[in-house]
């Protein structure tokens, strides 16, 4: 039994604070709160995670921080997180892992698509409803008083009419406009068109050349390659998740990702990932994305990602 975990739970219950209220106030997820109150500090991805989570939770509960840190040192130290990684290869192809995932990621995706469709249809109906406003009563009465005329009134334009406009009417309209423009053109206007000098043309040519060079520079900057021997993957998160990442370049990151967060990871041969909410995490590399790393609000530790030489995608295994 963890004395520190028992103290955290007892203090929270005595103050009548629910786990959901803690999550709302300091953004500690329910599974992390349960893990801290059960004393599972060494199951967190790193010593920094354990120390910071406990410190923030204790401060929120109004406990003595120095006393809490002393208790944590008795139950958890940096040495508890030192382990030699052993690679266990995953036999199943990555594509099958994504297809066979039963964690519910595809369900969340379908719900999101349906939600976007509903918003789009609602917006369209609101936009089109403005074309069919009812005339005020006064206008309607006025029109009834006036004598009936044989000339038909122009109907309000309908979206479908734009697809069935008589080609002959369009051509006649364009021809009429062109004739009016030609009739209105004066000799001064003709002279102004011819007044463009060779110097003006050269300026236009120079400006166009500069624009082309600027566009080329942007394309070259966009197509800039990574340093020799380096590779890049992108971590994607659809909800809140704590993360610990370590690359074979020596880079190491500890952070809490928000919804729609994207993080770039540079590596040579591999990188290792610890996550607290596996279902909301995916990894993109070389145009392909790996998802289905675990259950919702379930941690996944020691995921080792490395390139698959057979198809140019990523493969991963679990370190124990």
CB 237 within 8 A of CB 255: no
The fraction of the chain above a pLDDT of 70, given in percent, is 63
The rounded distance, in Å, linking the Cα atoms of 137 and 140 is 5
Q: Which CATH superfamily is domain 3-81 in?
A: lambda repressor-like DNA-binding domains (1.10.260.40)
The rounded distance, in Å, linking the Cα atoms of 10 and 225 is 55
Q: What is the pLDDT along the chain (320 residues), one digit of tens a residue?
A: 799 999 999 999 999 999 999 999 999 999 999 999 999 999 898 999 999 999 999 999 999 999 999 999 999 998 888 654 444 444 445 445 444 444 454 556 777 778 788 888 877 777 766 554 444 444 444 444 444 445 445 444 454 444 444 455 546 655 664 665 565 555 555 454 555 455 566 666 677 777 776 666 655 554 457 888 899 999 999 999 989 999 999 999 999 999 889 999 999 999 998 999 899 999 999 888 998 888 888 899 999 999 998 888 888 998 87
* Residues forming beta bridges with residue 317, ordered by sequence position: 304
The rounded distance, in Å, linking the Cα atoms of 40 and 94 is 31
Angstrom CA distances, 89 to 94, 153, 306, 316, stand at: 12, 77, 11, 8
The rounded distance, in Å, linking the Cα atoms of 240 and 24 is 12
CB 289 within 8 A of CB 274: no
Q: What is the pLDDT of residues 42-83, one digit of tens each?
A: 989 899 999 999 999 999 999 999 999 999 999 999 888 865
Per residue, the 3-state secondary structure of 6-67, as one string, reads HHHHHHHHHCCCCHHHHHHHHCCCHHHHHHHHCCCHHHCCCHHHHHHHHHHHHHHHCCCHHH
Q: What does residue 131 show for φ and ψ, rounded to 5 degrees?
A: -80, -5
| Cα torsion 114, 116, 118, 124: sign | negative
The rounded distance, in Å, linking the Cα atoms of 310 and 224 is 25
pTM greater than the 0.75 cutoff: no
How is the chain split into domains, by residue range? 3-81, 87-105+227-319
């Amino acid at each position: 039994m963890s004395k520190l975990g028992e103290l955290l739970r007892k203090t929270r219950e005595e103050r009548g604070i629910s786990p959901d209220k803690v999550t709302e106030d300091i953004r500690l997820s329910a599974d992390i709160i349960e893990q801290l109150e059960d004393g599972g500090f060494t199951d967190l991805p790193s010593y920094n995670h354990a120390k910071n989570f406990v410190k923030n939770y204790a401060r929120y509960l109004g406990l003595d921080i120095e006393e809490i840190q002393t208790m944590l040192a008795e139950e958890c130290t940096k040495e508890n997180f030192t382990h030699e990684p052993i690679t266990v290869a995953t036999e199943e192809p990555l594509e099958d892992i994504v297809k066979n995932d039963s964690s519910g990621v595809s369900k969340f995706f379908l719900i999101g698509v349906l939600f976007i469709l509903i918003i789009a249809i609602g917006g369209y109906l609101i936009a089109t409803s403005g074309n069919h406003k009812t005339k005020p009563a006064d206008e309607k009465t006025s029109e009834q008083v006036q004598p009936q005329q044989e000339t038909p009134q122009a109907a309000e334009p309908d979206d479908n009419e734009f697809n069935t406009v008589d080609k002959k009417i369009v051509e006649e309209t364009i021809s009429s406009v062109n004739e009016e423009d030609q009739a209105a053109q004066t000799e001064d206007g003709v002279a102004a068109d011819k007044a463009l000098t060779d110097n003006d043309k050269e300026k236009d040519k120079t400006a166009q050349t500069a624009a082309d060079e600027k566009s080329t520079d942007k394309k070259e900057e966009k197509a800039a390659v990574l340093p020799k021997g380096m590779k890049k993957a992108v971590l994607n998160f659809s909800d809140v998740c704590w993360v610990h990442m370590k690359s074979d370049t020596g880079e190491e990151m500890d952070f809490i990702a928000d919804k729609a967060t994207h993080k770039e990871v540079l590596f040579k041969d591999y990188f290792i990932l610890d996550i607290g909410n596996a279902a909301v995490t995916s990894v993109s590399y070389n145009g392909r994305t790996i998802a289905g790393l675990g259950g919702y609000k379930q941690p996944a530790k020691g995921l080792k990602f490395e390139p698959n030489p057979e198809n140019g995608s990523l493969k991963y295994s679990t370190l124990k």
